[in-house]
């Protein structure tokens, strides 16, 4: 399952441009490869199917909003967890569920009291709505190692569908120094905060004076899975 959040950023556009140039340089008979069947995730790793839990030390949840049209203001949440039902031979059958603690909001160099403002009633209202959740409802492969993952996202007491473009970065079944399967994903998506009842500061039509309605989400994650089935016990290190 390629888990690729839909990526409209400059870096993504740059990569698309490079791919387009490369395609133009290929001989015509290379076009036949476009009809080859998609690879399974099993071709990218030997990680087995099963239940996987988030490795929080190798995961991040970042958001960005436009501030006055001058910069993309960036923050993150540090309190989150997730589980994944992984099936490399049938990506469409995979399942994902995650939770986020809004009170774990972290900002770079915030003005005094600003974090509390964002956690207050005009924004996240974290006392009243102490958890955000995402539960997948559909996985649609979009490439050899990518998929659009749609789910029910709940924030600020409102539940709406949200689609993440996810890229599968690979994995392994384990080894002596990491005796569990490990897999990794990158994801990207966008939502409108007004859909969830958070409207304070949205610019008037035709203006950028405020904080954008659109919120960009960027996720990086690694998951730990079934115990490694070692063919033989590793030899003891030499003294």
Paired tokens of 164: 């993440």
229 confidence band (pLDDT: 50, 70, 90): confident
Q: What is the pLDDT of residue 90?
A: 92
Q: What is the pLDDT of residue 32?
A: 40
Secondary structure class of 66 (helix, strand, coil):
strand
pLDDT at 175 over 70: yes
130 confidence band (pLDDT: 50, 70, 90): very high
Q: What is the pLDDT of residue 101?
A: 98
pLDDT at 15 over 70: no
Q: What is the pLDDT of residue 107?
A: 98
234 confidence band (pLDDT: 50, 70, 90): low
Paired tokens of 158: 């409102």
Mean pLDDT (whole number) for 96-108: 98
Q: Which residue has the tokens 């071709």?
A: 43
Q: Which residue has the tokens 């309190």?
A: 79
Give the bridge partners for 175, in sequence order.
178
Q: What is the pLDDT of residue 232?
A: 62
pLDDT at 9 over 80: no
pTM: 0.79
Q: Which residue has the tokens 């990086």?
A: 220
Q: What is the pLDDT of residue 13?
A: 28
What CATH topology corresponds to 44-227?
A: Lipocalin (2.40.128)
pLDDT at 220 over 90: yes
Mean pLDDT (whole number) for 129-157: 97
The Cα–Cα gap between 111 and 100 comes to: 24
Give me the chain's average pLDDT, please: 85
**DSSP per position, 66-115:** EETTTEEEEEEE--EEEEEEE-TT-GGG-EEEEEE-GGGEEESSPPTTHH
Q: What is the pLDDT of residue 230?
A: 75
18 confidence band (pLDDT: 50, 70, 90): very low
45 confidence band (pLDDT: 50, 70, 90): confident
């Amino acid at each position: 399952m390629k888990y690729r959040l839909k990526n409209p950023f400059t870096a993504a556009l740059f990569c698309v441009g490079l791919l387009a140039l490369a395609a133009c340089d290929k001989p015509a008979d290379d076009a036949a490869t476009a009809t080859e069947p998609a690879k399974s995730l099993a071709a990218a790793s030997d990680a087995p199917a099963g239940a996987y839990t988030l490795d929080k030390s190798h995961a991040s949840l970042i958001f960005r909003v436009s501030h006055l049209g001058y910069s993309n203001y960036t923050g993150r949440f540090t309190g989150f967890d997730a589980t994944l039902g992984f099936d490399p031979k049938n990506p469409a059958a995979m399942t994902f569920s995650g939770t986020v603690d809004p009170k774990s909001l972290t900002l770079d160099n915030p003005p005094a009291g600003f974090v509390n403002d964002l956690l207050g009633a005009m924004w996240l209202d974290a006392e009243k709505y102490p958890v955000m959740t995402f539960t997948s409802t559909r996985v649609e492969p979009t490439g050899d190692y990518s998929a659009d993952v749609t789910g029910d996202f709940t924030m600020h007491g409102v539940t709406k569908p949200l689609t993440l473009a996810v890229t599968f970065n690979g994995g392994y079944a384990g080894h002596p120094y990491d005796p569990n399967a490990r897999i990794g994903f990158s994801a990207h998506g966008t939502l409108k905060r007004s859909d969830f009842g958070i409207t304070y500061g949205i610019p008037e039509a035709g203006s950028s004076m405020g904080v954008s309605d659109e919120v960009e989400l960027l996720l990086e994650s690694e998951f730990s899975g079934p115990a490694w089935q070692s063919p033989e016990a590793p030899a003891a290190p030499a003294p």
